[in-house]
A = this chain, B = another copy of it.
Amino acid sequence: MDNQPLRHETGLRVRYAETDKMGVVYYANYYIWMEVARSEFVRELGVEYKHLEDNEGLLLAVIESNCRYLRPAHYDQEIAITTSLGELTHRIVEFVYQISSADTAQILAKGSTKHMWLNRQWKPARLPDPYLDRLRQAAGQTKK
């Protein structure tokens, strides 16, 4: 109940640079939006990713990404991205995204990205407990 999973909403507006000659947003750019959304999400949790990278020496390396494109997105359109947490362990973080038109709430795309923590030597690392706990709470995955 108090474990309601957090969903973070990010807003952005389609840039001209993000369109292609088909007149709509180029498919790879949805992954850039996902990154913007998860950065904001993590920041909202009180964990600045920049801090983890600079101070804890932890890198969050993408190991998997996917996207299903339902409707095209257009230049200047306002986009809303809802981000939530999926799989969550000391080693793995999964983010799940829903990308919609901010005006009509129509879903434009759905995707997810899976990440692994690495240390500065690019070896698999464990996210320290306090950080994981904060993520778990955010995900509504804390147990009684």
**Contact B122 A39, beta carbon cutoff 8 Å:** no
Q: How far is the CB of A51 from chain B (nearest CB, A)?
A: 10
Interface residues on A, range: 35 or more
Q: How far is the CB of A125 from chain B (nearest CB, A)?
A: 14
Q: How far is the CA of A66 from the CA of B67 in the complex (A)?
A: 6
Q: How far is the CA of A110 from the CA of B114 in the complex (A)?
A: 14
Q: How far is the CB of A62 from chain B (nearest CB, A)?
A: 4
Chain A window 20-32, contacts with chain B (Cβ cutoff 8 Å), 1 for yes, 0 for no: 1111101111011
Q: How far is the CB of A70 from chain B (nearest CB, A)?
A: 8
Instruction: Given A15-B36, A35-B16, decide whether A61 and B22 contact each other with a Cβ distance below 8 A.
Output: yes
Chain B's closest residue to A21 (CB) is: B19
Q: How far is the CB of A44 from chain B (nearest CB, A)?
A: 13
Question: What are 18 A-B pairs with beta-carbon distances under 8 A?
Answer: A15-B32, A16-B35, A17-B20, A17-B26, A19-B20, A19-B21, A20-B21, A21-B23, A22-B61, A27-B35, A28-B35, A31-B31, A39-B76, A61-B72, A63-B69, A64-B68, A65-B66, A72-B122
The 3 closest A-B pairs by CB, nearest first: A66-B66, A28-B31, A19-B21
Chain A positions within 8 Å of B, measured between CB atoms, are 15-17, 19-24, 26-29, 31-32, 35-36, 39, 48-50, 59, 61-69, 72, 75-76, 113, 122
